[in-house]
Structure 1
Amino acid sequence: MTLKPKTILENGDGLFDTHVTVEDLEEVIQDQMKTNSKLGKSTKYTVIGEGNGIMSRVILVEPQWTISDDHLPSKFVLKIPYCVHIQGLIGQMLAMNPMSEEQEAGLWAMWESEIQSIHNREVNINKIVEKWDKREDLLNPRVYFSKKYDSENRNKGFIGMEYAEDSIVRHLYVNVKPRELYPVLKFVAHFQASGLHLTDEEKQSISGFDIEKIAGPLMTEDGIKGILQQVRMMNPAKFDEKVKKIEAFGMEIVNFELASNLNKYVGIDQPVLAHGDLWATNVLWKEKKEEWIVSKIIDYQGIHMGNPAEDLVRLFVSTLSGPDRQKYWEELLEKFYNFFLEALQSQKAPYSLEQLKESYRCYFVFGGVGLVQLFGPVTQRKLTMCSPDENVEEYQKVVLGKMEHLLDDVEKFHLHSRNVTKSYKKPVTRI
């Protein structure tokens, strides 16, 4: 009797409960890095980045290479999709909406397929970026090797990449200064500009991102009520009235149509390359002479062709203090647009500065509400992991400050975007 292989939604027997074994790594390393070396018995494996995300196991590997090759790294980061938490999500969905065995099997299969596709798109964009000129303007970590999922490989996907030594994450509970974001803005500008030259085949290799399929199970009517209740309980005295105003909008604030098709509403004809998950934990920093310098931008699982403001909304909401974001968002968009024009050189810009600002206003509600969950359980889990010498009380104050201003702006920008969608006129089809 042949046992059915476990899916990536279940624990495996490999490294740190994944399905990937050392032997799997060695096979790909030898093939793609052109070496006969293996990972010796003294190789050290350490899980890093716990509490910064929910889609992957991230492991620092310090190899003891059995054969010395100059091109082999002394350390590398191994990223493996690890989505056991999806079991809990599916359980919640089934509790609210019971299904037949056939329907439930289809739901599990959908999630498995979606996670495989997300990983494969990240592998594909890494390969595309490696071919671009002006790599010095980009902040992607170098990728050494990778393995995609396919019909024969259902549960052993991974990426081995450069380790950014001495780099840290400045989580949601840290306020980044507006000027410190300039290198990130320049990166996004060059990323978008270079993405305008993708071939049809390259675009196809990163297509398939469906925000409604990914976020839809969480952003139901009951899901939104639960999210807003979590926000209310963060500080009932301060947030109750603000949450009530948003609750009054009902499911209007979850506008998948606007989020997925924003370009048509603001008049942008050509979509641009979007990172898709550019929030605080995907920016790595180094401290030099008491200044914070951006080191790397990581995690391209959400890669897609989309609207130019998507990444900027998530970046500003998750990194800046509430007052700084409200005061400087237009100035930062102007700075970004100048970087974008520089990156384009003589090429015509696919959108104007005003279209960028209007995109920011219209995407803010969907992007902001999507981040609310990260201010709650993800951040609280991370805070429990802080060392005794860290000022957790101050961190909590920062999170509450960002949330307070986020709630204000969700209300304001929802009223704005609602008017945009109401006044939108479909193009006239001429025969």
Structure 2
Amino acid sequence: MPKFIGPAAMNLYTPADGLFGTHVTWADVEEDMQNGFDTDAYFGPNKYATNIGEGNGFMSRIVLIDPDWQHKDKELPEKFIVKIVSQLALQKVAAEMAEEKKIENRLNSSEFMATLEKTQKRLHNVEITVYEHLRKLPTGKIPLAKIYHAKKFTESNPVKGYIIMEYLDNIKAVHIFENVPLDSMKQMVQSLMEMLRNFGNEVLADKTDEIEKILPDLLDLEAAELLPDEIGMKRVLCHGDLWSMNILWRDNGKHLDLAALIDYQTAHMGCPASDLVRVFSSCLSAKDRRKHWEELVEDFYGYMEKEVGDAEMPYTLEQLKESYRQSFPLCAFMIVPAIGPLCDLLCRNPEDEKQKEYLSTATEKTECLLEDIIYYHERNMKLKRGEESENQKNQSDGLLNGS
């Protein structure tokens, strides 16, 4: 990981002298909050910042701020979150894993880091634009944390991109090595190869070999982009990165209630099935996903019908289901690489019973995802070659549903 020597370099991957090595300072945050709330109150001597993003994401610092407000002249948030765009978490994890596994760290080349920085900046600015639009919707339509201030990257502001937002207490982030109960997932629907081989599982290694053979087909991004047009679906606003770590749940003691959807960096006009595949694959157990995906898709469609009212629906239920089947290989494949690093980071003690449970859940989820990626890829290839009839393509889901 790059060392900080002398004046801070003007990039997102070299440690600087701001909050947790970023370029964003206490003064930046204080001034933005004062302007946003039109207050003369200021941060006190006991102000405190906590990095709460460790293990929950690699493209930003998630900082919990306790400002210790002084001379409050109105109601102000006692705590809030600052999400700061940075590569420091990614570089730290990449360096640790490379050292531990004795492999080359390919993520610390200057070319890679500079290219990634351009992408990060673009995605951050997109996220802010999407938030600006979503905030215009009626309250409660989409669960969002309140945004107090958002700063885009510009030519005159090359290294300080961040969002200051509401702190939601009693929140549970459900990791990919945990499962969201089916009832809670219905709330979600309504609102909306090296690593694997070293995972210590022979079955995963074998399936990874199979996946590697079909990679060119899986990574046909042009075909994925054109899918809604080919099926005859109108494009709609999609989250673009709807997986377990971008969904916040509130644990009420009996079940999980949806609290907020976050990270709209990759929002775009596209096929909604891509969001559904990602969220089902990352949040549900393999058994629930296989058995209930059609039911959840039907729920999603029903919710959308209510929202659309008398207007024309952008697609039919069958088009949505077929787009799910055709989107599955690529979108599920994009979830799989996240499982290894997260488990490696958070399951360092294999003798711990809770960590054993996490590892078991992650392994089962990964094995079944790889199985289903291969299954749906073969199914879609047959369909493309005209080897599978309309009746067969619908009946084939029964093999995975256990029916």
Pairwise TM-score range, normalised by the shorter structure: 0.7 to 0.9
Partner SS for 2:43: coil
Distance 1:266 1:385 in 2: 47
Counterpart Cα distance in 1 of 2:169 and 2:321? 36
Q: Aligned pair count? A: 371
Structure 1 residue 285: deviation in Å?
1.8
Match in the other structure for 1:239: 204
Q: 2:257 pairs with 293, 318, 336, which one? A: 293
SS of residue in 1 equivalent to 2:149: strand
Measure, in 2, the Cα distance between the counterparts of 1:376 and 1:9: 23
Written as runs of structure 1 = structure 2, the 5 A alignment for 1:234-273 is: 234-268=199-233, 270-273=234-237
Choose which of 44, 47, 67 in structure 1 pairs with 2:71: 67
Contact 2:126/2:267, CA 8 A, preserved across alignment: yes
Report how far residue 383 of structure 1 moved.
Answer: 2.5
Aligned to 1:141: 145
AA at the equivalent of 1:126: Y
| Secondary structure of the corresponding residue to residue 320 of structure 2 | helix
Q: Does 1:402 align with 2:370?
A: no
Q: Residues of 2 paired with 1:118 and 1:156: CA distance?
A: 14
Whether 2:39 is the aligned partner of 1:35: answer yes
| Partners of 2:87 and 2:34 in 1: CA distance | 27
Q: 1:186-219 CA distances to partner (integer Å, 9 max, x unpaired)?
A: 110xxxxxxxxxxxxxxxxxxxxxxxxxxxxxxx
Quote the Cα distance in structure 2 between the aligned partners of 1:320 and 1:3.
47
Distance 1:73 1:286 in 2: 19
Unmatched runs of 5 consecutive residues or more in structure 1: 96-103, 189-226, 424-431
Aligned twin of 1:100: none
Q: Give the residue type in structure 2 aligned to 1:51.
A: G
Any unmatched runs of 5+ in structure 2? Answer: 1-5, 96-103, 387-403
- Give me the whole-angstrom Cα distance separating, in 2, the residues matched to 1:136 and 1:94: 42
Deviations 1:112-140 (A, max 9, x none): 2221111111111111111112x213111
Deviation at 1:397, TM superposition (A): 0.9
C-alpha distance 140-94 of structure 1, shift in aligned 2 (>3 A): closer
- 1:178 match: 182
Q: State the alpha-carbon separation in 2 of the partners of residues 389 and 350 from structure 1.
A: 49
Any idea what SS the aligned residue of 1:234 has?
A: coil
Q: Summarize the Cα distance change of 1:409–1:175 in structure 2 as closer, same or farther, 3 Å threshold.
A: same
Distance 1:152 1:91, change over 3 A: farther
SS at match of 2:264: coil
| 1:119 partnered with 2:124 | yes
TM-score by length of 2: 0.85
Taking the TM superposition and a 5 Å limit, the aligned residue runs for 1:28-427 are 28-84=32-88, 85=90, 92=106, 109-133=114-138, 135-188=139-192, 227=193, 229-268=194-233, 270-384=234-348, 391-419=354-382, 421=384
Q: TM-score, normalised by structure 1?
A: 0.80
2:150 partner amino acid: S
Q: Partner residue of 2:390?
A: none
Give the Cα–Cα distance (whole angstroms) in 2 for the partners of residues 169 and 4 of structure 1.
33
Other structure's SS at 1:285 match: strand
SS of structure 2 residue aligned to 1:137: coil
Report the CA distance shift for 1:94/1:401 in structure 2 as closer, same or farther (over 3 A).
Answer: closer
Contact 1:178 1:332 in 2 (8 A): no
| Greater CA drift, 288-297 or 84-93 | 84-93
Tell me the amino acid that sits aligned with residue 71 of structure 2: I
* Residue 178 (structure 1) shift: 1.6
Structure-2 separation of matches of 1:296 and 1:62: 21
Distance in structure 2 (CA, Å) of the matches to 1:302 and 1:357: 23
Identity among equivalent positions (%) equals 33
Offset at residue 93 of structure 1 (A): 7.0
CA distance in 1, matches of 2:198, 2:8: 44
In the other structure, the counterpart of 1:224 is none
Cα-to-partner distance string for 1:89-114 (whole Å, 9 max, x where unaligned):
9962798xxxxxxxx76x65443222
Whose RCO is larger (CA < 8 A, sep 6+)? 1
Q: 1:61 to 1:264 in 2, by over 3 A?
A: same
Q: Root-mean-square deviation (CA), in Å?
A: 2.6
Distance (Å, rounded) in 1 between the aligned partners of 2:377 and 2:56? 29
Quote the Cα distance in structure 1 between the aligned partners of 2:383 and 2:237. Answer: 24
SS of 1:231's partner is: helix
* Code of the aligned partner of 1:119: H
CA distance in 2, matches of 1:136, 1:5: 42
Q: 1:98 — aligned with what?
A: none
Give the aligned residue type for 2:303: F
Kindly state the Cα deviation for residue 59 of structure 1 after the two structures are TM-superposed: 0.8
What is the match of residue 212 of structure 1? none
Q: Secondary structure at the match of 2:69?
A: coil
CA distance in 2, matches of 1:390, 1:120: 42
Q: Any conservation in 2 of the 1:145–1:160 contact (CA below 8 Å)? A: yes
Q: Over residues 208-255 of structure 1, what are the superposed CA-to-partner deviations in whole Å (9 max), with x where a residue is unaligned?
A: xxxxxxxxxxxxxxxxxxx2x432342443334433332332422222
| 2:100 equivalent in structure 1 | none
